[in-house]
A and B are shown apart, each in its own frame.
Chain A
Amino acid sequence: MNFVSSIVLVDIALLAMLGVVAVAIIRLKSLFAIVMLSGVYSLVSATWFVAMDAVDVAFTEAAVGAGISTALMLGAMLLTARRVKTPDKAGARRWGPFLAVFATGGLLIFASTDLPAFGDPNSPANSYVGKDYIERTPSEVGPPNIVTAVLASYRGFDTFGETVVIFAAGVAVALLIGFGERALAFSGQRSVTPEPVSPDDHHMVLRVVSKLLIPLIALYAFYVQFHGDYGPGGGFQAGVIFAVAVILNALIFGLSETMDAVPAGAARAGAAFGVLLYGGVGVVNLLNGGAFLDYDYLFETPAPGSYDPHHWGQHFGILLVELGVLATVASTMIVIFYAFAGRAPEIRDEDW
């Protein structure tokens, strides 16, 4: 079986599913169903990314879009609402969106007629800078995973910015809904163990299994981290996985217990540390006489004309930078989860 055509088949099937999911979301009123389907949407697009050879993207989308986003939306729903209300008035509200959307769509279709054919290896996008990266990475940076090389070295400043975006999200959520400090107060109020809802409400299997799994997940996070040079993965994905381990712990063993083990303050420090580490690598390069984030200058100023076949500077630069990303992403995700999970519902906004 010709695998190119099989990929086309999968491509069409997945795109069709995406369309069905998206249209279904328009009609649905149950927020829970909407959130579930948006998770499905992310998941299907992640699968599609795999079919399109974008394994790193698929990795991130599966972890972030299908995992973290869904968890956050569920957490937010606990604090807000569970159904969408039907608006009283229609009319103008109906047609405005239609017009805006169709204008946008029309412009997009207009543009698409001049886009290069799908899969064209000679399109400008695939033949200029993109191709250069593939050809030059082995001799200039080193890692087999070109996405890692581009992400951390060629376009390292983008990634620095991206780390800061995540950090900013953590700062924003902490400023808006706190660090989950209310969880501690909440559990303090309920020091008496509450009555079980029903006799079959026990989860011994889950507890035992999770206890086994959580260290394994953390280990897997480090595998993804250090394997990022050779396969899909890297700091972001590893950070998310690490956060998932903590989130699982919180879900099974309780939030305040988890906050004793991984305090919010430590997570905050971790997030800041990641940004400082990333920026610090850049500053070290500056001090050694290179440009900001030029990892060739990580250890010393290279002699003019010298060539390091091992790319030690690049290698360790990428390693350190990805560690910074790991620290920030993992810590920020934990902070955000604490913030949402730790906010007791229906508390009026008396502070500030």
Chain B
Amino acid sequence: MSWFAEYLWAPAALADHAAALIVAAPLIAAAAVAMAPNGRFAWVMTLATAGFCFWMALSLAGDIGRDGLVSYALGGWAPPMGIEFRADALNAMILLLIGMIAVLACIFSLPAVEREVRAEKRPLFYSAFLICLAGLLGMTITGDAFNLFVFLEISSISTYVLVALGASRDRRALPSAFNYLIMGTIGATFFVIGVGFLYAATGTLNMADIAARIAVMEENRAVHAGFAFIVVGLGLKAAMYPLHQWLPGAYAYAPSFVTVFLSATATKAAFYALVRFLFSVFNPQTFPFAETLLVWVLAPLAGIAIVACSFQAAFQTDVRRILAYSSVAQVGYMLLGVATGTALGLSAGMFHLLNHSLMKGALFMAIGGAALYAPCSKLTDLAGAGKKAPWTMSAFAVAGLSLIGFPLTAGFLSKWRLLEASLDVGWMWAVAIIGLASVLAAIYVGRVLEAAFFREAPEGGPDIREAPLLVLAPLWTLAIMNIWFGIDSSLPLGLAQAGADAVFSGVYALTGSAP
């Protein structure tokens, strides 16, 4: 794990408090950005904050690589009394991902936001983005169940408004945002109910402490129900099939920058929280019902999600909706890996999570970039886009191939690993499903590529142009990562592996303080 440490060096004063600063900095900056005089200034501050968060994530990852676990007691109050930030390799991986995507998406945002948001609203827009970022980072790093709810809501509330702002382009953003708000709030409230039951049974809110205390309560019905509520609540946020209905609308109609950021991070943070509860709080080894749930509920749901949503994606006529349905299917892949309940499966799921962020970020960014000057995302509108915007659309092609799982791309390796994990537990049906879904993915990505590269642009079609450098730079960074990690997967796979190993070796658990 020592290869983390060499990445970046943060002064000790900062590194000691990286866990708090990674969340506090964007929260404080959000307030400052809201007062920024104009959009440019707000953008610079936002980019600086996102960069700072990424830096802190690197620093944290270095610490975790060295010590295995970072625990930070906020307010100086020792954990069960105070709120604790607790991070092992699994958190580190998600924090790094969110930090990196935030920086790239933020670079992309300058041209995108100038097209899609009115000038006087831009500072507030960036403020909402920073709040969302802080919420996602907080969800990922916190070790306190109720604090997780607070951050869940911080990220959700800002997400609702960010999605609704797509109304300047398409009014359907508004009902989508409203539906998301209703579903998201029900999900968050379910989560609170679940936490309440766990609190009633254990008397604590610290996740590691809960884990230690419920280990002897496998018969307690309140704990069982609490578990179910938490899974449903977080599943809603993670767009777990069949609780994904809010996602296609929200992704399809949000401003393009918002879609880029959310598709690559929002469901991932919720998915992390789900994994944390499934494996670190409710250990399948001590809770037979947790294992039952994994094998008999989550695994079939994952299978259905992969097939059903891939089919739905294949029948869409709007590129952003295609990608949105594909996102739900990809959550299914991750869930499939997790549902095997093995370290191999978990690492495969997490590996796919990383890769999916890279490819979906790139795909949405490419569509947003190509349509920068003429808001459009219908398949017919994109006809001939490959000629008009070769750089943008070839990045789309690279990420699309990765989404299909073409050899030499990152997507191929993670699917391969998912296959291995399924075979490892003897799930032949999963192998068949992955094969079928790859064909479907080839169809829906193929439809876009066919329209973009093999069709002539119609007369009077939308004004698709090559995206500016501020779009191409982050876009190609992501695209190159998709290829690089398809050839040399040591970094993402190492992260995923370390995360899964940390979960299964119980690094997260309290040491030597059984109740």
Contacts and interface: CB of A to CB of B under 8 A. Distances in A.
A128 interface: yes
Given A272-B34, A294-B76, A175 B161 contact: yes
Contacts of B72: 291-292
B367 to A, nearest CB: 21
Interface string B87-110: 000000000000000000000000
Nearest to A106: B225
Interface in A279-333: 279-280, 282-283, 286, 290-297
B193 A108 contact: yes
Contacts of B325: none
A286 to B, nearest CB: 6
Given A153-B75, A279-B28, A175 B201 contact: no
Contact of A172 (B138, B161, B223, B226): B161
A127 interface: yes
Interface string B143-177: 00011001101100110110011011001000000
B20 A107 contact: no
A161 B147 contact: yes
Interface stretch (B42-50, B118-126, B391-399, B466-474): B118-126
B31 A128 contact: no
B234 interface: no
Given A175-B124, A175-B128, A294-B75, A161 B151 contact: yes
Contact of B80 (A128, A161, A297, A351): A128
B154 A276 contact: no
Interface string B7-43: 0000000000100110010011011101100000000
Contacts of B74: 156-157, 291-293
A346 interface: no
Interface residues of B, number: 65
Nearest to A169: B157
A167 B31 contact: yes
B82 A154 contact: yes
B131 A164 contact: yes
Given A107-B228, A156-B74, A272-B32, A168 B147 contact: no
Contacts of A268: 34-35
A331 to B, nearest CB: 11
A279 B20 CA distance: 11
A165 B157 contact: yes
A273 B220 CA distance: 46
A114 B153 contact: no
A128 B202 contact: yes
Contacts of A176: 161, 164-165
A110 interface: yes
Nearest to B118: A352
Contacts of B118: 351-352
A6 interface: no
Contacts of A124: 200-203, 213
Interface string B67-79: 0000011111100
B222 A114 contact: yes
A268 B437 CA distance: 49
Contacts of A110: 221, 224-225
B385 to A, nearest CB: 26
Contacts of B202: 124, 128
A287 to B, nearest CB: 9
Given A158-B146, A164-B30, A168-B161, 14 more contacts: A110-B225, A111-B197, A130-B203, A156-B75, A158-B147, A158-B150, A161-B151, A165-B153, A171-B34, A174-B124, A175-B128, A271-B31, A291-B20, A352-B165
Contact of B204 (A128, A157, A271): A128
A168 B221 contact: no
B205 interface: yes
* Interface-central residue, B82, B213, B220, by most chain A CB under 10 Å: B82
B199 interface: yes
20 contacts: A110-B225, A115-B197, A123-B203, A124-B213, A153-B77, A171-B131, A268-B34, A268-B35, A269-B35, A271-B31, A272-B31, A272-B34, A275-B27, A283-B28, A286-B17, A292-B20, A292-B21, A292-B24, A295-B75, A352-B167
A112 B226 CA distance: 10
B83 A114 contact: no
Interface string A333-352: 00000000000000001011
Interface string A14-27: 00000000000000
Contact of A155 (B21, B35, B76, B83): B83
B225 A107 contact: yes
A110 B72 CA distance: 37
* Interface-central residue, B17, B34, B75, B221, by most chain A CB under 10 Å: B75
A172 B128 contact: yes
Q: 8 closest pairs, A vs B, by CB? A: A111-B225, A128-B203, A294-B76, A352-B168, A124-B203, A172-B161, A279-B28, A275-B31
B134 interface: yes
A136 interface: yes
A186 to B, nearest CB: 19
* Interface-central residue, B125, B150, B165, by most chain A CB under 10 Å: B150
Interface in A146-185: 153-158, 160-162, 164-165, 167-169, 171-172, 174-176
A97 B493 CA distance: 43
A194 B32 CA distance: 42
* Interface-central residue, B30, B73, B117, by most chain A CB under 10 Å: B30
A349 B150 contact: no
B203 A113 contact: no
Contacts of A165: 150, 153-154, 157
Interface in B164-200: 164-165, 167-168, 171, 193, 197, 199-200
A160 B80 CA distance: 19
Nearest to B193: A108
A214 to B, nearest CB: 28
Contacts of A161: 27, 138, 147, 150-151, 154
A215 interface: no
* Interface-central residue, A108, A130, A275, A296, by most chain B CB under 10 Å: A275
B144 to A, nearest CB: 8
Nearest to B79: A129
B265 interface: no
B127 interface: yes
Interface string B133-147: 010001000000011
A30 interface: no
Contact of B200 (A125, A156, A279, A294): A125
A168 B28 contact: no
Nearest to B34: A272
A129 B205 contact: yes
A167 B30 contact: yes
